[in-house]
Amino acid sequence: MTSFFKNPIMAHGADPWMYRHSNGNYYFMISLQDKLDLWSSKSLSAIAQGKRHTIWVPKVSGPCSHNIWAPEIHFLKDRWYVYFTANDGGGDETRRIYVLENKSSDPMEGVWEEKGALNTQYAGLDGTVFQHRGKLFFLYAGYGNYPDYGSALFMTEMINPWTLGNENILLSKPEYDWEKRGGMAINEGPAILKRNGKIFVIYSASTTWTEDYCLGMLTASDLSDLMIPESWTKSSQPVFKKSVQNQAIAPGHNSFTQSPDGREDWIVYHAITETSGEKLDLTLRSTRAQKFGWNTDGTPNFGEPVSCTKEINVPSGEE
């Protein structure tokens, strides 16, 4: 294997989710619209060449039969779960987040059982999960107050990996101009980072079809009550945004992982190489990966998107 790679790591890959498990494998998923596929590899940078397995195909019709988006694989309570967005082919009001469970030790094997739609307070998309102080928390982008905004971020505690508590708090709604580009005010695609005594929610802002799609950040102390909205502070500027010269338009909907030896932090995200008029061609989104660092105040520093022509050192410990 070479000692470097170039972006993109997958030529067609929107809403990328990368998860490094304790067995040394990376598991990877993207939005495929009509099914759920899972990739597995020891290599982060060469995930596209890894094993690929279709784990779920929807029925022809029904509540989760169309628009299969933003799948994420998680290992919770010694079982595998995949959370994904789907609807019945209708409008936003039918969009829900669904969950599958697999009891096998290897998510590439075993049976994926449908556990149904999560009982979110609002219709929505882009569900994610994290564990903290013995509790499970669920975040999603909900359509809770339209037309004031297209979507906002909500959070709730989980009773178990497929059942939510009753309280859905409003974590973040679009407030700044950079969250309202493309004709709608959008907060979506939350992803969690935990480090330096803090919890960060990195989210996507503005519409997916605008070249100004970017990443924002919420921060809370890991000692605070996370279900109190005042525990969270929103950054007033994007923390990751487009670089035309580096062929990274509309960077967003990311996930986080680490190098095989655990020494480096990596962001995995999608972007488009070139602009294409007033609305971007979303079929051109590709998956990119790059290492990031940390500021002196303990917050992440993602820098700018790396050029598609730049040779990037493979993650530390990758063979």
Q: Range with the lowest mean pLDDT among 1-10, 142-151, 279-288?
A: 142-151
The confidence band for 3, taking pLDDT boundaries of 50, 70 and 90, is: very high
Amino acid at 138: F
The answer on pLDDT for 226 being more than 70 is yes
Q: What is the per-residue pLDDT for 108?
A: 98
The answer on pLDDT for 146 being more than 90 is no
Strands 233-234 and 214-221, bridge-based pairing:
antiparallel
Q: What is the per-residue pLDDT for 199?
A: 98
219 and 197 in contact (C-beta within 8 Å)? Answer: no
* Within a domain: 111: yes
Global pTM reads 0.97
The confidence band for 148, taking pLDDT boundaries of 50, 70 and 90, is: confident
| Mean pLDDT estimate for the chain | 96
The confidence band for 1, taking pLDDT boundaries of 50, 70 and 90, is: low
* Within a domain: 69: yes
Q: What is the per-residue pLDDT for 7?
A: 98
Tally of residues, the chain = 319
* Within a domain: 260: yes
* DSSP collapsed to 3 states, the chain: CCCEECCCCECCCEEEEEEECCCCCEEEEEECECCEEEEEECCCCCHHHCEEEEEECCCCCCCCCEEEEEEEEEEECCEEEEEEEEECCCCHHHCEEEEEEECCCCCCCCCCEEEEECCCCCCEEEEEEEEECCEEEEEEEECCCCCCCCEEEEEEEEEECCEECCCCEEEECCCCHHHCCCCCCEEEEEEEEEECCEEEEEEEECCCCCCCCEEEEEEEECCCCCCCHHHCEECCCCCECCEHHHCEEEEEEEEEEECCCCCCEEEEEEEECCCCCCCCCHHHCEEEEEEEEECCCCCEECCCCCCCCCCEECCCCCC
The yes-or-no answer on residue 188 being catalytic is yes
Tens of pLDDT along 61-101?
999 999 999 999 999 999 999 999 999 999 889 999 999 99
Q: Which of 72, 126, 179, 188 is catalytic?
A: 188
% of the chain exceeding 90 in pLDDT:
95
Q: Which two tokens stand for residue 156?
A: 């709730």
* Domain span holding position 33: 4-313
164 and 138 in contact (C-beta within 8 Å)? Answer: yes
% of the chain exceeding 70 in pLDDT:
100
Tens of pLDDT along 103-144?
999 999 999 999 999 999 999 999 999 999 999 999 999 997
Q: How many domains does the chain have?
A: 1
Region 170-181 average pLDDT = 97
Q: Tell me the CATH number at 82.
A: 2.115.10.20
Q: What is the per-residue pLDDT for 147?
A: 75
Region 40-55 average pLDDT = 98
Residue among 246, 243, 237, 262 nearest 318 (CA): 262
* Within a domain: 84: yes
* Within a domain: 257: yes
306 and 312 in contact (C-beta within 8 Å)? Answer: yes
The confidence band for 212, taking pLDDT boundaries of 50, 70 and 90, is: very high
The yes-or-no answer on residue 106 being catalytic is no
Amino acid at 167: E
Q: What is the per-residue pLDDT for 103?
A: 98
* Within a domain: 318: no
